Amino acid sequence: MHKSTHLLVIPRFRYGDLMAVYLGMKAPDFTVNTTKGPMTFSDLKGKWVLLFSHPADFTPVCTTEFMGFAERYDEFRKLGVELIGLSVDSIYSHIAWLKDIKEKYGVEIPFPVIADIEKEVADAYNLYDPKSGVTVRGVFIIDPNQTVRWMIYYPAEIGRNINEIIRVIKAFQFNWDSKLATPVNWEPGDKGIVGAPNTFEAALVREKEEGAERWYLKRAKA
């Protein structure tokens, strides 16, 4: 299998008595009910996955986000990304909400939405807030080897920036293909960054190479 470079692995942490997902971890497998029928996560191996959660159905910010993801769905598909929504609402609540969005806004939600009423996925990804009883607004990018590569949590009152999510996916795919990291504010078409040398001798060689700004910083085209 392909092994991408510059994979950040952070220490494990616990949420209560549960071992929560962390960067660099293999995504946990699960079989769940969705608005598109039963789904087993391991069946998606070999694909990029964007798993995102929303606090609750029939909420205003989440409604705008779902329509936003639906409008960019073809763009995600061209990138080979599977979108999966999630909350701890029931399948009937999901169906009623998606039906309302289609009827009121003319937007059909084309991706599956997990009805995580048992909180199996929400607990694994540290997404459930027991105080409010709703799901935390989270986003996870999972690579074709089913490794968790990116995770970010938003407060309930802040909507996500889909442009940034797509930029991050493109950056991961750039790294996946080229083994180059990406500098600040990287956009597709920009140069990447070569990994820094790890010996004194290699550092002396690196600083003389084309594209080297310092011995530890070299930009290169893919």
- How far the first Cα of the chain sits from its last, in Å, is 20
The residues annotated as belonging to the active site are: 62
Residues 90, 161: one domain?
yes
Give the pLDDT confidence score for residue 103 in this predicted structure. 98
Residues 95, 105: one domain?
yes
Helix (H, G, I), strand (E, B), or coil: what is residue 121?
helix
Domain-located, residue 5: no
Domain-located, residue 44: yes
State the helix-helix crossing angle for 91-105 and 60-71, rounded to 10 degrees: 70
Residues 193, 168: one domain?
no
Residues 188, 85: one domain?
no
Answer whether residue 3 shows pLDDT above 70: no
Domain-located, residue 6: no
Total domains in the chain come to 2
Q: What tens digit of pLDDT does each residue of 44-85 get?
A: 999 999 999 999 999 999 999 999 999 999 999 999 999 999
Give the pLDDT confidence score for residue 52 in this predicted structure. 98
Q: What is the domain-level CATH number for residue 62?
A: 3.40.30.10
Residues 120, 205: one domain?
no
Domain-located, residue 132: yes
Range of the domain at 186: 180-222
Q: Tell me the pTM.
A: 0.88
Q: What tens digit of pLDDT does each residue of 185-205 get?
A: 999 999 999 999 999 999 999
Over residues 149-171, mean pLDDT: 96
What is the rounded CA–CA span in Å between residue 27 and residue 148? 6
Domain-located, residue 99: yes
Nearest to 176 by CA among 82, 78, 48: 48
